[in-house]
Amino acid sequence: MLAYLVIREGSKWTDVFRLVPGRTVTIGRAGTNQIVIKDERASRNHAEIFITRGQWTLRDLESRNGTIVGSKQVRGDYPLTPGEVIRIAHCQLAYVQDLSKAFPDTPGEGPPAGFLSDAEETVAGAPKLRETGEISDSNVLTSSEPSAITHRRSHARFLSPGGGELEHPKVGQAATKLCKLAFELASQPDIASVAHLALNGLFESTQIDAGAVLLLPKGKEAAEVTTAELNVVASRTDVEPSYHRLSAFLAVTVLRDGEAVLARNVEGDSNLGSRDSKGEIHSTSVICAPIRQDRKVVGLLHTYSTQTNRVADPDDLEFTLAVADNVALALKNLARQQELSENLSQTQSEVQQLRKQLGAESAIVGNSPVLDAVQQQIARAAPSRATVLIRGESGVGKELVARAMHYASPRKKGPFVCLNCAALSETLLESELFGHEKGAFTGATDRKIGKFESAHQGTLMLDEIGEMSPSIQAKFLRVLEGHPFERVGGSQPIKVDVRVIAATNRDLEKAVAENKFRRDLYFRLHVVEIFVPPLRKRGDDILELANFFLDRYNAETSRKIRGFTPEAIHRMQQYRWPGNVRELKNVIERAVVLARSEFIDVEDLHLSNLATSSESGDIQLPKSTYEPLSLDDVEKRHIHATLKATGWNKSRTSAILGVERSTLDRKIRRYDLKPPGIKGEWREE
């Protein structure tokens, strides 16, 4: 059931909105409404219109200033009658079912020139309907004039911008019908429906009794096509038994010039008339308009009249050309929809593969100052090609940091490949990294692409890099330096473009000192270093992470756990979390599954008694003795132990201690702390 809201604000008609069955139209001041009224007297969500039992109904949404229909204020649901005007603030919305009856014919009371075109542009995406001038009477030929093409048109006045007012009632009616036709063409599901609807509109609005929509063969240009090759998509005739094709001369003229033509008094003219199977010409006037997409002719609208009392005029030519342009737009939209439909299954498959490959969200949860510092480092390092070394205890989220860096980098459209170096033996690790050829070793039944090749133009994250054997380290270093590599058992050099992000929870400096990690590889990896603090250093993030995991596992298990008791929150904040974020995630999952009430309590958490990992800077006091110390002495020892553990790296030390670099420098001077072998005043270069 076709219905429209014709919108007027103040003294000007501004828009027309088509009501679609099954869709609710919301009206209000908020920008989320389909119809937005920019007036403070309108409520944010003022009213809505919907169809019920075959009738469009208005409902006021308890607005502040009310909704008026006629002289009545609407309360609850109000069934609308065609012609009624809805008033909201300064805006008027006329409910109509026939656009041609939406405005009176009295001069000065109808919409301004271009109103219907704006409505068409809003809903159907068609060009604006503007009037550029009328065909003068001197251009109209009488029935006694000879057969000829009397008019040509490159652009329809109905679709040309900047025209004057609609002076003649016929032109105004044509614009109204064209607007309605544009709405309907935009909603057709296939090419045949578009063609039949266009023909029906032409038969209703022009002086014709036969016609057809013809399209060029796919992939062919207009200059290459003959009349016989044009495909008749739809045809109609109201007088004769069948439609008669247009002449070759007329087809070539329109295809070559790309202009619509009108010819009258063509009976007996073989160049312009439409012939039947006996060769007889059955047309008194003919219109042929090109269907154009991106300035290329893709088809023709061919219509003609066989009766002397029905002769097409220049206005019919204008209308036909406007319909042809709207048909072209509808066909273009259908082609785009078909293309999207064909790509949909492939896109869905790719999305599923990417989600499976990611395995986890790349968003970092938490707002603590130390985590903000990590995110700032990610933002600064992501755009570069530099190798990144991520350090931190097991379970702090090093892979999540690497994933966030990948998706913040220019390589985000490339693959993100992750490999745990500690999970594989030396032989398998080499095969996983560089791939192998068929028959390279026992069990190598097929060629295998390594992680480096898989991550081409993307990012390769190597977790637990400190567990890599020395022989693999040497080959890995050559690839990092930009040299090509060979698959295991192969001889073909392979060069890839990969950004490497390494992660470890080991003390690589100590491993280098003990000759367990190559010194040159350490310096190659140590270009950009990001230290991820343990969860116990991020107390402000514990509750936020707990609620994040609670929402996730509520959704997965269909439980309705509402939150945590105050005792459980206090226990989580006091707990040291030796397993970091990984432990917190598992604790919340277990609690959601086993909790017996709507709130998780202390007994549902099942926290462990394990000690935390050895933290740099933790002072280990002998258990058998107690040495009384002042707070200054404790702080001095703590800072000194941390500096020693980090090799006197002030940046890492300040991150571990959770203080600013300037604060650390001040305390070093205060306690007169110096690296071993330094005498006098120490300054870091």
Give me the sign of the Cα torsion angle 641, 643, 648, 652: positive
| C-alpha distance from residue 240 to each of 300, 303, 307, 341, 395 (Å) | 21, 13, 11, 40, 82
pTM of the model: 0.43
Return the pLDDT at 487: 87
pLDDT score for 137: 31
Cβ contact 597:611 at 8 Å: no
pLDDT of residue 2: 76
Measured CA to CA, the distance from residue 195 to residue 243 in angstroms comes to 15
What's the pLDDT score for residue 131?
A: 29
Rounded distance between C-alpha atoms, residue 501 and residue 20, angstroms: 53
Contact 178, 120 (CB under 8 A): yes
From the CB of residue 93, how many other CB atoms can be counted at a distance below 10 Å?
28
Tokens of 398: 């090093």
Residue 617: its pLDDT value, please? 40
Closest by CA position to 133, among listed 113, 108, 119: 113
Q: Which of 92, 85, 42 is nearest to 63 (CA)?
A: 42
What is the rounded CA–CA span in Å between residue 564 and residue 396? 23
184-220: b or e for each residue (b if 16 or more CB lie within 10 Å)?
Answer: bbbebeebebbbbbbbebbbebbbbbbbbbbbbeeee
Residue numbers of the chain with a pLDDT score lower than 50 = 104-146, 162-167, 359-361, 614-624, 685
Question: What is residue 684's predicted lDDT score, i.e. its pLDDT?
Answer: 55
Q: Is 377 exposed, middle or buried (0-12, 13-18, 19+ CB in 10 A)?
A: buried
Among 336, 35, 322, residue whose Cα is nearest residue 179: 322
